[in-house]
Chains A and B, each alone.
Chain A
Amino acid sequence: MKRTLMTVATLVFGAGMAGADAVAPADVVFADGSVAMSLTGVAGDPENGRKVMTTRGLGNCIACHEVTALSDFPFHGEVGPSLDGVASRWEEAELRGIVANAKIMFDGTMMPAFYKTSGYIRPGKGFTGKAATEEELEPLLGAQDIEDVVAYLMTLKDE
């Protein structure tokens, strides 16, 4: 029991701490859909980015995208384009902008905005189907997770 509480506390606190130095979702500066500055100033960890991309409760990017390099994770979706070679098509700043809020780069896109906290219609409390209780939701991904995903995407270059 105690252990669980501690873990929860660490998680909440941990996320809060990372948030302290990070650029808040509302303060992110987009230029033509790109975000030039790192959200945290801490270099992204592609290994964690890979985890975020393949985990259902996190980015779950492969729900909509195929990525050959992630083929050891089953079930890739076809809603968005394959991300193979994506770093040869886009600059890092563009990728950061797409992951943080793809709706600025691609008007009306189905891709969710991962670093945004308000402006939703009937926002829910996670996947419970109940109404969200806070005005501002937690963004779908934390600032460092976004940096980590961008770092992973940067490894996806055409041969």
Chain B
Amino acid sequence: MKRTTTLVSVLALAAWTAGPTLAGPDDHQLVINDEIQIITEAAAPAHMDGIDTIYSGWRFRADETQALELDDFENPGMIGVENAMAIWETVDGSEGKSCASCHESAESSMKGVRAVYPKWNEAAGEVRTLEMQINDCRTTRMGAEKWKWSGGDMVDMTALISSVSRGMPVNVAIDGPAQSTWEKGKEIYYTRFGQLELSCANCHEDNYGNMIRADHLSQGQINGFPSYRLKTAKLGSVHNRFKGCVRDTRAETFADGSPEFVALELYVASRGNGLSVEGPSVRN
């Protein structure tokens, strides 16, 4: 209750009185369930030159959308978390195991995991996203089928794994063996794709805070993923969002799980180092 009142009163002062358009992020604070402090604003990591301060996409959303993230009972993305809790305990595949057989409670074993992914996996010699790691456990350890990258079970599982790290700072490593993948992701971020010749940076670095038609541009951060979109009434993966953004430049997009999107995910994640893990978030 108190939560709601604070939000409303902050609102009354800000935004709408200023004029027809909002410039920049608002000054609201995100505390989930009155308990989990979410850092939605931080000093930009040293590797970024174009931006001084990084913000969660939550700070650019309308008040009604923001409000849905304040309480897990209001957050439609938490339904995915619940689904995944059931899957966590369910035996699947030829080895007769569930995730819980090896990892016990997700709450404790997965705490902190979301914050450091994508991450270099030494044995596999590759940078792995959460989806890749989960499918590796399913195929090599459980003898089960892979899940589809942006399919329901996978997205729900990433929501569960994110949810137990909420409030912890994103901290992906970009040096050492991950560096070449990171460089590749950076190059993609600044490439002007498609017939509209727009890069991620054109919209999310040069113009965050500005309106583009009816949309208030954020920095395109992924600390809030997976993200429940009101528009599609679904939880969506990071790559699903990347696809939409590339498609909107009238470009040929990359596939879910493609090496390009894995590299881009590492790079974009690193632009959020210092923000809190926030997924499953709610966006319009």
B5 to chain A, nearest CB (A): 31
B247 engages A128 (CB within 8 Å): yes
B248 engages A127 (CB within 8 Å): yes
B212 engages A79 (CB within 8 Å): yes
B212 engages A124 (CB within 8 Å): no
Q: Which of A77, A120, A129 contacts B247 (CB under 8 A)?
A: A129
A121 engages B213 (CB within 8 Å): no
Residue of A nearest to B207 (CB): A79
Question: What total of chain A residues lie within 8 Å of the partner, measured CB to CB?
Answer: 30
Contacting residues of chain B (198-218) with chain A, CB-CB under 8 angstroms: 198, 202, 206-207, 210-214
A110 engages B250 (CB within 8 Å): no
A112 engages B197 (CB within 8 Å): yes
A11 to chain B, nearest CB (A): 19
B252 engages A129 (CB within 8 Å): yes
One of A31-39, A44-52, A56-64, A91-99 contacting the partner: A56-64
Q: Does A123 touch B at the CB level, under 8 Å?
A: yes
Q: Which of B23, B191, B195, B206 contacts A140 (CB under 8 A)?
A: B195
B194 engages A120 (CB within 8 Å): yes
Q: Please report the C-alpha to C-alpha distance between residue A113 and residue B250 in the assembled complex, in whole angstroms.
A: 13
Q: For B197, list chain A residues within 8 Å (CB).
A: 103, 112-113, 120-121
A78 engages B195 (CB within 8 Å): no
Q: For B212, list chain A residues within 8 Å (CB).
A: 63-64, 77-79
Q: For A131, list chain B residues within 8 Å (CB).
A: 252
Q: Does A156 touch B at the CB level, under 8 Å?
A: no
Q: Please report the C-alpha to C-alpha distance between residue A103 and residue B192 in the assembled complex, in whole angstroms.
A: 13
B213 engages A78 (CB within 8 Å): no
Residue of A nearest to B243 (CB): A129
Question: What total of chain B residues lie within 8 Å of the partner, measured CB to CB?
Answer: 27
Q: For A110, list chain B residues within 8 Å (CB).
A: 198, 202, 206-207
Q: Please report the C-alpha to C-alpha distance between residue A140 and residue B211 in the assembled complex, in whole angstroms.
A: 22
Q: For B194, list chain A residues within 8 Å (CB).
A: 120-124
Contact with B along A51-79 (1 / 0, CB 8 A): 00000100010111000000000111111
Q: Which of B198, B214, B252 contacts A74 (CB under 8 A)?
A: B214
Contact with B along A127-138 (1 / 0, CB 8 A): 111111000010
Contact with B along A23-43 (1 / 0, CB 8 A): 000000000000000000000
Residue of A nearest to B212 (CB): A77
Residue of B nearest to A62 (CB): B213
Q: For B193, list chain A residues within 8 Å (CB).
A: 120-122
Given the known interface contacts A110-B198, A129-B243, the answer about A124 and B250 at a Cβ–Cβ threshold of 8 Å is yes
Residue of A nearest to B196 (CB): A112
Q: Does B11 touch A at the CB level, under 8 Å?
A: no
Q: Can you list 9 contacts pairing A with B, beta carbon distance less than 8 Å?
A: A110-B202, A112-B198, A113-B197, A120-B195, A122-B251, A123-B251, A124-B194, A129-B243, A132-B252
Given contacts A110-B206, A126-B250, 11 further A-B contacts (CB under 8 A): A63-B213, A75-B213, A77-B212, A78-B211, A79-B207, A79-B211, A79-B212, A124-B252, A128-B247, A129-B253, A132-B252
Q: Which residues of A contact B (CB under 8 A)?
A: 56, 60, 62-64, 74-79, 103, 110, 112-113, 120-132, 137, 140
